Amino acid sequence: MALCGHCRAIDFSALPAHPRWDQFYRAFDNSQMNVLKIKQEDRETKLDNELGVFWQDSLDSLAESAALNCSLCTVVQTAVENWNDRRSAGKNRKSLHKALGSQYDFALPNKRFDDTTLLLGSVTFTADEASLLARELHSRPFCEDSGSPRALRVVSSWLKSCQDNHEKCYHGHTTLPSRVLAVGCIGDGSIKPIDPDAGTVGKYASLSHCWGKVPMLTTTQTSRYAHMSGIFVTDLPKTFRDAVAVSRYLGIPFLWIDSLCIIQDNPEDWARESSRTMEVYSNAHVVIAANHARDSAGGCFHVRPSRISDSLRIPGIGLVHMQLGANSDEFLYHNSVFSNEPLAKRAWALQGRFLAARMIHYNTEQMHFEYRHGIVDEDRCKSNRRYCGLSYGMYYRCFACKALQIWSSIVWNYGERYLTKPTDRFPAMSGIAGTLGCLLKMRTWMVQGMAWQGS
């Protein structure tokens, strides 16, 4: 589709800077709209000089341009219609926006300040990796299927970049767990559980997933010996199959999956192996997290929800992709992005995320790659802050006064998560407790840490 006269008049090569991110929000729904809050003292300056270039003078004008098939106007008009539909249905009456991060538990509006709040239809321009515009446009369009060859190449590039450039993320081989799955090569029809000799070194991936309520393939005292001869890939639930595919594509020969590498009906084996999960996750070359899947049938790979997007050719610039919504390194709020995923509700999963050096996240909307001191998104946004990880605690290791704050935050997060077996409450936290206990000398805070609250 072509551009209308309003859009052709925009000088895309000389757009003004983006508004301050500390006053910029995402709408508290799925309309993909944004909210800009302007303080009273900044209103005249920002509205006249910093907000942007003059475009459409009314929503009616926008709708008319969209009706004439203008690409840019159509994308924004679709978001406006979604917002109006939700407002008419009474779904937008409680809250207009949600602030970045989760620094505050609640906030009260104060009309005394008379701030101006604007609802914005922001558009992000993206370019394919091979495009000549890739150097100019930071963001990349999404793959529709997170299991596609293109998506796997993205994951592989993340891992290679981390291995080549992040000194604090360990490299090479580590001690293998006492039981792992030999995944073989791409195209092999089966995988094989093995019990490496103590001290055997190698490279392995680990899977973090929701067990869910559906029956799942497990290793029991009865099935163990049958599994040792090999497990057909076609017999694996989808989440396991996808994890095998990722491991094979990345050239990682071994994979650890809790339900297959721990004998589930052997109390001694379960107690011994579950106590070693700290080493399993922290020594894994990468942890694969099926965040969006509610059970083992959900998979790592899936076709993501479609976004309001289109492609257009901008005069003097070239062919670009565009999608509704702001997109920037400064606009990451991964706490809320991850907290809505099913895996984030499970208590056992917290250890995997906290202890992992590297983690591939398969979320509902996009993939993420988390490493020691940061995170990068599939659309190429990145942050040097990691919400949940060992580096979060290491940052404060010289500040004893922060120890209780760190521990309390983690315990609070953990307390909100679910367990299938209440008796797992302490085992599922032992890895984090052991790590932070040594790092932050938690004995100092023993008395303060014994304040409990029921849920």
Residue 320: count other Cβ atoms within 10 Å of its Cβ: 20
Q: What are 210-249's pLDDT values in tens digits?
A: 998 888 999 999 999 999 999 999 999 999 999 999 999 9
Question: Average per-residue pLDDT in the chain?
Answer: 81
pLDDT at residue 25, rounded to an integer: 67
N-term to C-term CA, the chain: 54
pLDDT at residue 341, rounded to an integer: 93
Does 192 fall in a domain? Answer: yes
Question: How many structural domains does the chain have?
Answer: 2
Q: 78-96 burial by CB neighbour count: b if 16+ within 10 A, else e?
A: bbbebbeebeeeeebeeeb
Q: Clarify whether residues 222 and 351 are in a common domain.
A: yes
Does 314 fall in a domain? Answer: no
Does 316 fall in a domain? Answer: no
Lowest mean pLDDT, pick from 32-46, 92-106, 345-359? 92-106
Q: Clarify whether residues 101 and 204 are in a common domain.
A: no
pLDDT at residue 89, rounded to an integer: 59
Is the Cβ–Cβ distance between 99 and 107 less than 8 Å?
A: yes
Q: Clarify whether residues 40 and 161 are in a common domain.
A: no
Residue 260 has pLDDT above 90, yes or no: yes
pLDDT (average), residues 275-294: 94
pLDDT at residue 244, rounded to an integer: 99
- Domain of 46 in residue numbering reads as 1-121
Lowest mean pLDDT, pick from 84-93, 127-136, 279-288, 344-353? 84-93
pLDDT at residue 145, rounded to an integer: 94
Q: What are 265-284's pLDDT values in tens digits?
A: 999 999 999 889 889 999 99
pLDDT (average), residues 122-144: 81
Q: Clarify whether residues 419 and 275 are in a common domain.
A: yes
Q: Clarify whether residues 379 and 270 are in a common domain.
A: yes
User: Among 121, 136, 168, where does a domain finish?
Assistant: 121
Q: Clarify whether residues 221 and 343 are in a common domain.
A: yes
User: Among 82, 103, 121, where does a domain finish?
Assistant: 121
pLDDT at residue 227, rounded to an integer: 95
Lowest mean pLDDT, pick from 17-21, 277-281, 305-309? 17-21
Q: Clarify whether residues 112 and 155 are in a common domain.
A: no
Does 245 fall in a domain? Answer: yes
- Name the more confident of 405 and 209: 209
Q: Clarify whether residues 117 and 153 are in a common domain.
A: no
Q: Clarify whether residues 183 and 286 are in a common domain.
A: yes
pLDDT at residue 315, rounded to an integer: 75
pLDDT at residue 398, rounded to an integer: 46
Does 453 fall in a domain? Answer: no
pLDDT at residue 397, rounded to an integer: 45
Lowest mean pLDDT, pick from 12-16, 185-189, 413-417, 445-449? 445-449
pLDDT at residue 78, rounded to an integer: 85
Q: Clarify whether residues 218 and 294 are in a common domain.
A: yes
Does 136 fall in a domain? Answer: no
Q: Clarify whether residues 340 and 401 are in a common domain.
A: yes
- Name the more confident of 430 and 227: 227
Does 310 fall in a domain? Answer: no
pLDDT at residue 179, rounded to an integer: 97
pLDDT at residue 48, rounded to an integer: 55
Does 142 fall in a domain? Answer: no
Quickly state the pLDDT bin for 177 (edges 50, 70, 90).
very high
User: Among 101, 121, 141, where does a domain finish?
Assistant: 121
Q: What is the pTM of this model?
A: 0.82
Q: What are 139-149's pLDDT values in tens digits?
A: 888 888 999 99
Q: Clarify whether residues 86 and 229 are in a common domain.
A: no
